[in-house]
Structures are given as structure tokens and as C-alpha cells.
Amino acid sequence: MVLLNCALVGVAGSAFPVDIDENKSVGHLKDAIKAKKPNDFKDVDADKLQLFLAKTEGGAWLAGAGVAAVTVDGDGHPQGFELMDPTLWIKNPKHFGANFQPGEG
């Protein structure tokens, strides 16, 4: 199990933790997020959630305080962050990697 901190783009104070098995897919993470925040996502199916890897261009993880400052493009996608592939595993090197150790941020 790994603990991932998730947040709603542009919403200050929206960070929340989600525990997920690193052997699960990003699609499973979407299900876990939907289950954790049913009121925030009551009108959105889990498969419609768009998850972005919150790594800055310099490679550092986005801190909770930085969530509100993230800018979005015309499609509502956060600029400078990579869309996560729902078919890949959490531990896939493209996302967190096999030896991912969450840190504070």
C-alpha cells in the first residue's frame, strides 16, 4: 500500500489522502478517489476523472499550498503536468515507479 495525496486543481485546501495498492492501475486509483470523495464527484463517473501527475517541471512534487496556483488550459487541464494513463499500474515508471516513497509536500 502507498499513500497518495490528491487534490482538486485550483482549489486551496482540497488535498486528501488515498491509500492504494501499488500493484493496482490508475483506473483503480480513480475508483478509490471517487469512493473517498463521493460528494465532490457525485455527478462524475470514476472513469471520467482526469488524474495528473503532480510533479513540477523541475521534478519536485507539487506542495499542497501550490494546488490553488495551478493554471489550466482551455480544456481545463493543468498546465505543465502529465495526464496519467488509467491502464498503467501505479508503480509504472511513467507514474510513481516501483520504489516510490511518498514524501511531504
38 domain-assigned: yes
73 domain-assigned: yes
62 domain-assigned: yes
Residue 8 and residue 31: Cα distance in Å, rounded?
15
Decide: residue 71, CB within 10 A, 0-12 exposed, 13-18 middle, 19+ buried: exposed
pLDDT per residue over 3-46, tens digit each? 898 988 878 888 899 999 989 999 999 999 999 999 999 999 99
> Where do we find the cell 509504472?
92
90 domain-assigned: no
Domain that holds residue 71: 2-83
> Where do we find the cell 483506473?
27
> Cα–Cα distances in Å, from 15 out to 7, 63, 66, 77, 87?
4, 10, 11, 18, 24
45 domain-assigned: yes
Whole-prediction pTM: 0.84
97 domain-assigned: no
pLDDT per residue over 40-55, tens digit each? 999 999 999 999 988 8
Domains in the chain: how many in total? 1
